[in-house]
Amino acid sequence: LVVLGIETSCDDTAAAVVRSNGEILSQVVSSQVDLLAKYGGVAPKMAEEAHSQVIDQVVQDALDKANLTESDLSAVAVTIGPGLSLCLRVGVQKARKIAAIHQLPIVGVHHMEAHALVARLCKRDLQFPFMALLISGGHNLIVLARDLGDYLQLGTTIDDAIGEAYDKSAKWLGLDLRKSGGAAIEELALRGDAQSVKFSVPMKQHKDCNFSYAGLKTQLRLAIESKNIDGGVPFSSASVEEQGIRADIAASFQRVAVLHLEEKCERAIQWALEIEPSIKHLVVAGGVASNQYVRSRLQEVVGRNSLQLVCPPPSLCTDNGVMIAWTGIENFRMGRFDPPPPAIEPEDSQLDLRPRWPLGEEYGRGRSVAR
Ligand code: ATP
Ligand code: FE
């Protein structure tokens, strides 16, 4: 099997070609970093236009790099949710066009399932059940992956995701957003004193596995204000002394943001082992999992609990087409795909988009989770 994966759920236009033996034939990502840096966030209409402008080229590049043409493909996999519907539509229309012309089956992929499952491409003997902590710009999920398409959600964020907090701190500290905000904070934090600003760890009193980053964002904003830092002044233009203060804030923020992950993971592992004592692995994926500090702290937690940490390489943690193609392959093998679309699609045909699409059922729903 050779599968093309297409991803347009948020601000990256990505495509990749992957073989069912796990061989990555090509991988192409076009990021809207310049738009993001300019406007400080994702505006759906602008993101849609940016996807539309590059989608044909991104897919063509992925095929060229793989030395293949559309007619060599066995199937097309595409993200159908969760995400911005305007953006999802661009990828789905492209996928359906290719599938219609070459009469290929289509697999509609869950973006967060793909973040988790790409770990099974990286580590081929990773078996279900396993745990997954998915940390990205829009999600903060900890799940028990029982089987393909079968997830038990142990915890989620009650407000913001950790990636959102990283992005805002980078913006407020005047960092260069052309890399991701997260990568900019990670780099700056290396130069700072992580103990210098006293942030409090969120949700300490909640004996659950849920996350919250909105309060930490507020603490951070107040700290920035109290030190008279003007984020409108780029980091490189700030005085050496002020650069030091900004680095201290970044390091202190990162320490507490990750402590929150550590504490909730520790509890989630206990819960998961009660449900499925055979679990051996914790997968950590999503954009924030490319952070080395995050990885090393979670390595400690996982080691203490006699589990193994599985972290895809950074290029497979941030949004990419490989994870979509691979999740397509996993589903295709199980017979989960849609037949090829009609060669000529009616103008008004409804696309199956799922902008809000939970990953599995919530653990403890309908009964007390207090422990
Ligand atoms: P979602 O997956 O929730 O739909 P998304 O697809 O936009 O959101 P990803 O591409 O998976 O998110 O991840 C992007 C996020 O990862 C951003 O918030 C970014 O700041 C963060 N990120 C990327 N690299 C790092 C890093 N080195 N350290 C911390 N955060 C990082
Ligand atoms: Fe993502």
Residue 154: helix, strand or coil by DSSP? strand
In this model, does residue 370 exceed pLDDT 60?
no
Model pLDDT, residue 343: 85
Pocket lining: 32 vs ligand 1, CB cutoff 6 Å: no
Model pLDDT, residue 350: 79
Structure confidence by residue, pLDDT tens digits, 287-319: 999 999 999 999 999 999 999 999 999 999 999
Model pLDDT, residue 50: 95
Model pLDDT, residue 284: 98
Distance CA 118, CA 292 (A): 19
Residue nearest to atom 3 of ligand 1 (CA): 138
Structure confidence by residue, pLDDT tens digits, 229-270: 999 999 999 999 999 999 999 999 999 999 999 999 999 999
Q: How remote is the CA of residue 281 from the centroid of ligand 1, in Å?
A: 22
Q: How remote is the CA of residue 230 from the centroid of ligand 2, in Å?
A: 30
Residue with tokens 């290396």: 190
Residues 342/348/351/354 CA torsion (nearest 10 deg): -170
Model pLDDT, residue 43: 85
Q: How remote is the CA of residue 163 from the centroid of ligand 1, in Å?
A: 5
Distance CA 292, CA 294 (A): 5
Residue 338 CB partners (closer than 8 Å, separation 6+)? 105, 106, 107, 108, 352
In this model, does residue 367 exceed pLDDT 70?
no
In this model, does residue 72 exceed pLDDT 70?
yes
| 37: amino acid identity, one letter | A
**ipTM of the assembly?**
0.99
Phi and psi angles of residue 361, each rounded to the nearest 5 degrees, phi first: -90, 155
Distance CA 5, CA 25 (A): 11
Q: Are 179 and 162 in contact (CB under 8 A)?
A: no
Mean pLDDT of the chain: 95
Q: Are 130 and 302 in contact (CB under 8 A)?
A: no
pTM for the predicted model, two decimal places: 0.96
pLDDT band, residue 164 (cuts 50/70/90): very high
In this model, does residue 273 exceed pLDDT 60?
yes
Q: How remote is the CA of residue 285 from the centroid of ligand 2, in Å?
A: 9
Model pLDDT, residue 366: 53
Model pLDDT, residue 371: 45
Pocket lining: 113 vs ligand 1, CB cutoff 6 Å: no
Model pLDDT, residue 40: 67
Model pLDDT, residue 356: 97
pLDDT average, residue stretch 60-88: 98
**What is the helix (H) or strand (E) element at residue 4, kind and residue range?**
strand 2-7
pLDDT average, residue stretch 273-299: 98
Angle at 78 between CA 25 and CA 36, to 5 degrees: 90
Distance CA 197, CA 227 (A): 11
E-assigned strands of 72-115?
Answer: 75-81, 106-110
In this model, does residue 131 exceed pLDDT 60?
yes
In this model, does residue 323 exceed pLDDT 90?
yes
Residues 189/29/38/160 CA torsion (nearest 10 deg): -60
Residue with tokens 């990286």: 122
Pocket lining: 181 vs ligand 1, CB cutoff 6 Å: yes
Distance CA 351, CA 96 (A): 9
Parallel, antiparallel or unpaired: strands 361-362 and 150-155: parallel
In this model, does residue 344 exceed pLDDT 90?
no
Per-position DSSP letters for 323-364, written without gaps between them: HHHHHHHHHHHTT--BPPPPSS--TTPPP---SS--SSEETT
Residue 68 CB partners (closer than 8 Å, separation 6+)? 2, 17, 25
Query: Which residue, 191, 208, 205, 199, is CA-closest to 258?
Result: 199
Q: Are 50 and 31 in contact (CB under 8 A)?
A: no
Handedness of CA 241, 244, 248, 253 (dihedral sign): positive
Model pLDDT, residue 139: 98
Distance CA 272, CA 247 (A): 37
Pocket lining: 13 vs ligand 1, CB cutoff 6 Å: no
Structure confidence by residue, pLDDT tens digits, 210-237: 999 999 999 999 999 999 999 999 999 9
